Amino acid sequence: VKVAPHNPYSPVATAVSLHLAACIPNFAIQEIAQSDVPWRDELLTEPIVVRDGYFALPKGPGLGIEVNWEVVQAYPGVAQDVPRLRHEDGSMAHW
């Protein structure tokens, strides 16, 4: 069965997903968010770049990335209510 990591979050999650993809034989495709906020590429000191439809695996220590903490502090997270997936009777709901 092919695996396609669901990754609608940050470049940090992208680095994690890329390392997972690099070590499993059944990786298919990587989902990423690219244009949700204009400062996304600033979250890392060196952004993870897509070239010709492919990522290069970050090569630094750990996940291969370095977080730009000044940018993280400049754009704090905003709590959001998550969708409810069940109706009051317990049946499944659609977002």
Percent of the chain with pLDDT over 70: 99
- Residues 43-54 have pLDDT tens digits of 999 988 888 988
Which residues neighbour 39 within 8 Å (Cβ) at sequence distance 6 or greater? 71, 74, 75
Are the C-beta atoms of residues 47 and 69 closer than 8 Å to each other? no
Q: Which residue has the higher pLDDT, 34 or 73?
A: 73
- Which pLDDT score is estimated for 95? 65
* Residue 62, phi-psi category: left (phi > 0), alpha (psi -120 to 50), beta (remainder): left
DSSP 67-79: B-HHHHHHS----
